[in-house]
A and B are shown apart, each in its own frame.
Chain A
Amino acid sequence: MLEIIPNNTRFDFVGVRKTALAISLAAILACLALILIHGLNLGIDFAGGSLVQARFASPKATDEVRAAVAEFGAVDVQDLGREGTEFLIRVPLSEENSESVNARVTGKLAQTFGADKVEILRVEAVGPRVGEALRVKALLAVLFSTLTMGVYIWIRFEWRFGLGAGIALLHDVIITSGFLVLFGYEFDLSIVAALLTVVGFSVNDTVIVSDRIRENRAKDRRAPLANVINRSINETLSRTILTTGTAVMVVVSLFVLGGSVIHAFAFALLVGFIVGTYSSVFIAAPVVLFFESAGAPAATERGAARSTAPASRRT
């Protein structure tokens, strides 16, 4: 029998929870600082503006392309890494109607490099009203889905589990966003889709662990919760790693082979899946314990006997 994780692992996940929480807190603060200082790099979906993706017959330098379209203001030119033949040109929203900017950018490219030497692969333009509407919708979607997940787990398990899951989800979303800022990816609709998928995936792991905790508590009601949590995480560890492993496999394949359009999307999934798995093991369940020990005695309503000492370290 091939096993990645031996079946009798006894990692003390609960024991290292303070370290894990400290690391996560530091990571969250760093990411928030990064986001606040640098700002989310909003794509045209949210900021409005226009975008032209062009392919040239022969390689061009980024500066060459930038010089050609410099007259359109604060233009951002990005080499898409196809031996210098493909570029993404973004023009921020201005007083002018963004659609006419696109027509003029494509016209200018054709004029500078020759109409038959440049092919326009993609053109997008988003007006200010649409950009704002999409921004509001995206924010609501992320908040709403985090809330829905938390409420589902709360109903299905206990409020502390829901809270633990909610905190883990925010953790995942913030850290993934931080990585996107760090690596210079833009926030657009597909990134929001990726974040929601990460939320779903991370909750997945959390649910599996919570299920096992409930099952193990039913088996032995006198066992300290810390031990039960530790045991449950260990028992589900090989499943957690296997599922994350296969998901990461396909996401890497998307990231490497999927093409420029979904590159950022795949990157967000990659970071999010790894962070999400970490948080279900090290954050979600230990947070339950934190509320158990910090919370009022009335917190437990399901009749499980609780450990008297806060967070026993025995395993």
Chain B
Amino acid sequence: MSNSSLFSRTVLVVGLTIAAIVVLLPSVWQPLPDWLSFLKGNKIALGLDLQGGTHLVMQVDSDQAVVNSLEINADELRRELRKAGIRSPKVEPTADGLTVTLPSDGRAALLELAASQFPDLKVAASETVNDQLVQHLTLLPEEVRRIKQSAIDQSLETIRNRVDQFGVSEPVIQRQGDRDILIQLPGIQDPERAKDLIGKTAVLEFKLVRDVDAEPIAKGSQPTPAGTEVLFETTSDPGGTRRKGSPLVVETQTLMTGDVVTDARVRPGDLPNSRVVSVDLNARGARLFGEITAANVNRRLAIILDDTVYSAPVIREAIPGGKAIISGSFSPDEAKDLAIVLRSGALPAPVTVAEERTVGPTLGQDSIRQGMRSFIVGGLMVILFMPVYYRFAGLLADMALVWNVLFIAAALAAFGATLTLPGIAGLVLTLGMAVDANVLINERIREELRVGKSARAAIEAGYERALPSILDSSITTFLSGLILFQFGSGPIKGFAVTLCIGLVSSVFTAVVGTRLIWDYLLSRRQMHTVSI
């Protein structure tokens, strides 16, 4: 090949090598000096399996959001029907709509109401049972879709708020598929607590306590009085574990919900080393709370979160200022988390953990150490073996290997890719497979030398003949890497990425990099024999 081509290839290889080193600087040089700050984004991030952390997939029960919405519709429709003068209308939510039971003469009023005020409900079949009209209404499919969609959007927003306030650095919170939320919390110390915080529906309700003996009702030996339900108080051990406490009979009617809360903070309580959560209400909430407390002096008001009674203080007097206090035996963490969920609001639908993967910091450290050790040992074995077998050509193959590691690391940094344990395995594997291209070339050169070709001719023919095989074999492995990337999740993706980058870089270093050195030796050093 001509000297000018030798020159341009040298520029290419040297340029890429320098670029690779520069891109890697932020990953190894800490803290980064100011004049390099433009490189800040290019850092190899450690995956959750290496630095420790929690990977969660939360499933949003969006069907429940539809049910919730139907219940609200049912309440409103019942109220409107009463307003329209219909006696004792029955409105029941079903799986996909509402069933209204009312005297037959109320049909016109119902249809008019449905058309004017409930456009999302479609009038479906009706029947007559015992002189009563039973009318089915179904929720429009697009409305169902919208509710589900917005349940996920809202959940995502609420969870993001909670995680932000919890204080996790660089969390990942995103949608996955059509009903899941993916959450990654790097370096988290107490995953159980984080899971509780994220998964809490956090519906805050204020209900009046009915002053009856709750024990027999809770045991089932006495019927529950009409318009009431049994809920349990929560108590906490000295160890901090929450337990189900004594039962309370509360009115079913909710006087006020958490949507009027504007702020919630942890305050010291009256007792030493105790704490309460103080809640600020907006104007509507303050007025409502003032009215409720004024009308129910000397009764107990239960403060309920997700159907658990946190406290049920006796109302001493009307409270006009728009502030409520939730007391209870909170640990500092519990109080803090309660304040967070109250501030960030309720989830529109319950969420459950569909997948959890938590790696503790110790195992992460172990994995890095073991991964790196197998990388170094495996690499050294290959590096020592190649010159033994191929002499000078083996040294070139070794050089290509080091180049490969440099290029792969630089590519990972440049793409802001994440290094995972399978990623390290991919890197180790690349070391083993990257020599393949060099082996193919060297074996070819040996064959050409055997038939008596000169050094230059043998090297040229060797590279030329090996190229199709190198490309074919790299492309096939690359294809399986792509499929792996497409199918894989999390850490497996890391493996696929390093494998694919490694293939591209090994073809480059073998075909362009080592060739450059042979050409240099042939043209500048008048090399006549090949050490291979």
Residues of B contacting A: mostly: helix
Which residues from chain B contact A204 at a C-beta distance below 8 Å? 433, 436, 473, 476-477
Contact B428–A243 (Cβ < 8 Å): no
Q: Contact string, B478-499, partner A, CB cutoff 8 A, digits 1/0?
A: 0111011011110110011001
A7 vs B192: C-alpha distance in the bound complex, in angstroms?
63
Q: Contact string, A128-142, partner B, CB cutoff 8 A, digits 1/0?
A: 011000100110110
B352 CB–A CB distance under 8 Å? yes
A112 CB–B CB distance under 8 Å? no
With A152-B479, A207-B472, A257-B373 as contacts: A119 and B362 at CB distance below 8 Å: yes
Contact B443–A269 (Cβ < 8 Å): no
| Residue of B whose beta carbon sits closest to that of A253 | B378
A196 vs B433: C-alpha distance in the bound complex, in angstroms?
15
Contact B487–A141 (Cβ < 8 Å): yes
Contact B483–A123 (Cβ < 8 Å): no
A34 CB–B CB distance under 8 Å? no
Which residues from chain A contact B465 at a C-beta distance below 8 Å? 215
Contact A253–B353 (Cβ < 8 Å): no
> Which of B378, B469, B476 counts the most A-chain CB atoms under 10 A from its CB?
B476
| Residue of B whose beta carbon sits closest to that of A245 | B385
With A211-B469, A242-B389 as contacts: A253 and B363 at CB distance below 8 Å: no
With A200-B476, A249-B385 as contacts: A130 and B378 at CB distance below 8 Å: no
Contact of B374 among A153, A247, A257 (CB under 8 A): A257
Contact A124–B476 (Cβ < 8 Å): no
Contact A243–B435 (Cβ < 8 Å): yes
A172 CB–B CB distance under 8 Å? no
B519 CB–A CB distance under 8 Å? no
User: Which A residues, 125 to 166, have Cβ-Cβ distances below 8 Å to chain B?
Assistant: 125-127, 129-130, 134, 137-138, 140-141, 144-145, 148-149, 152-153, 156
A98 vs B59: C-alpha distance in the bound complex, in angstroms?
13
Contact of A262 among B191, B360, B390, B422 (CB under 8 A): B422
Contact of B432 among A200, A247, A265 (CB under 8 A): A247
How many B residues have CB within 8 A of the partner chain?
Answer: 71
Contact B432–A121 (Cβ < 8 Å): no
User: Which A residues, 226 to 241, have Cβ-Cβ distances below 8 Å to chain B?
Assistant: 235-236, 238-239
| Residue of A whose beta carbon sits closest to that of B481 | A200
A256 vs B374: C-alpha distance in the bound complex, in angstroms?
8
Contact B473–A250 (Cβ < 8 Å): no
Contact of A124 among B358, B379, B389, B468 (CB under 8 A): B358
Stretch at the interface among B83-91, B289-297, B364-372, B507-515: B364-372
Tell me how far the C-beta of B218 lies from the nearest C-beta in chain A, rounded to whole angstroms.
23
Which residues from chain A contact B488 at a C-beta distance below 8 Å? 141, 189, 193
Contact of A145 among B381, B473, B483 (CB under 8 A): B483
Q: Contact string, B394-431, partner A, CB cutoff 8 A, digits 1/0?
A: 00000000000000000000000000011001001101
Tell me how far the C-beta of B74 lies from the nearest C-beta in chain A, rounded to whole angstroms.
29
B45 CB–A CB distance under 8 Å? no
Tell me how far the C-beta of A257 lies from the nearest C-beta in chain B, rounded to whole angstroms.
4
How many A residues have CB within 8 A of the partner chain?
Answer: 77
A122 vs B491: C-alpha distance in the bound complex, in angstroms?
15
Which residues from chain A contact B429 at a C-beta distance below 8 Å? 197, 247, 250-251, 254, 269
A55 vs B57: C-alpha distance in the bound complex, in angstroms?
26
Q: Contact string, A105-127, partner B, CB cutoff 8 A, digits 1/0?
A: 01000000000000111111111
Contact A126–B355 (Cβ < 8 Å): yes
Tell me how far the C-beta of A161 lies from the nearest C-beta in chain B, rounded to whole angstroms.
11
A97 vs B362: C-alpha distance in the bound complex, in angstroms?
27
Tell me how far the C-beta of B5 lies from the nearest C-beta in chain A, rounded to whole angstroms.
27
Tell me how far the C-beta of A118 lies from the nearest C-beta in chain B, rounded to whole angstroms.
11
B388 CB–A CB distance under 8 Å? yes
A261 CB–B CB distance under 8 Å? yes
Contact B469–A208 (Cβ < 8 Å): yes
Contact B473–A258 (Cβ < 8 Å): no
Q: List 26 A-B contacts (CB under 8 A).
A: A2-B388, A4-B389, A99-B195, A99-B356, A122-B363, A124-B357, A125-B356, A127-B352, A140-B487, A141-B486, A153-B476, A189-B491, A190-B422, A193-B488, A193-B496, A207-B476, A208-B440, A212-B469, A247-B432, A247-B433, A250-B428, A250-B429, A251-B378, A258-B370, A258-B425, A262-B421
Residues of B bordering A, CB below 8 Å: 49, 57, 59, 191-192, 195, 352-360, 362-363, 366-367, 370-371, 373-374, 377-379, 381-382, 385, 388-390, 421-422, 425, 428-429, 431-433, 435-436, 439-440, 443, 446-447, 450, 465, 468-469, 472-473, 475-477, 479-481, 483-484, 486-489, 491-492, 495-496, 499, 532
